[in-house]
Amino acid sequence: MSASTATTPVVLTAKALLLDMDGTIVNSDAVVERCWRDWAVSHGLDPQEALKVVHGRQGYATMAVLLPDRPMEVNHAENAVMLARETADTDGVVPVAGAPAFMAALDGLPHALVTSADAALAEARMTAAALPMPEVRVTAESVEASKPDPEGFLKGAAALGVDPADCIAFEDSAAGISAGQAAGMRVIGVGPRAAAHAPTAHVPDLTTLHVTTTPDGTIEITLRGA
């Protein structure tokens, strides 16, 4: 189907689901925007322009896009500081609409978290949003390359023992959607940022998804438009 929001029920099937965190199951926009606005201003950058590229990437990769001539070691050092600040700031971190029911429906099914956050930040935000942490997770420490590189999604599929073609990724950002597609997965785009980046299907939030399984264990995702 097209990347526009589904207006009639669509059913996608998979053997495993790979979930981005920020913007997909956890709404952390308030923290992200606070921290990155301050960072942009401190470097003489337009905060609005900076916020167009921060979502989905690891911090050092965002910095490399915004300050392309700066040594990467400086980006990694500043990213460590940024991660500590973001981990300590959970004010306004809430679940994306429908996320609690969606995550409950995945209990016992093959799924993994694939996030650009590090383990500490992922734990802080999932806890703040009162969402269960998937047993299988790929965090910043697990990969050499940030999204839009597909490494994280490929590692998630491998950890679950499922071919990427049999996985569905859930993403909200351009970088994340590109990563899922590059991994050979279908991608369900979640939220307002996702619609413009040609996911396999798009939903406004997770309230429009229904998860069931067939007798052979196949996961069925039914999508209904808002």
Residues marked active site are found at: 20, 22
Rg of the chain in Å (alpha carbons): 17
Which residues contact residue 75 at a Cβ distance below 8 angstroms, ignoring those fewer than 6 apart?
59, 60, 61, 63, 64, 67
Q: Which helix (H) or strand (E) holds 190?
A: strand 186-190
CB-based burial, 90-125: b 16+ in 10 Å, e otherwise: beebbbbbbbbebbebeeeebbbbbbbbbebbbebb
Distance (Å, whole) CA 154 – CA 135 = 17
Distance (Å, whole) CA 57 – CA 44 = 21
213 strand-pairing partners: 219
Which residues contact residue 162 at a Cβ distance below 8 angstroms, ignoring those fewer than 6 apart?
15, 16, 110
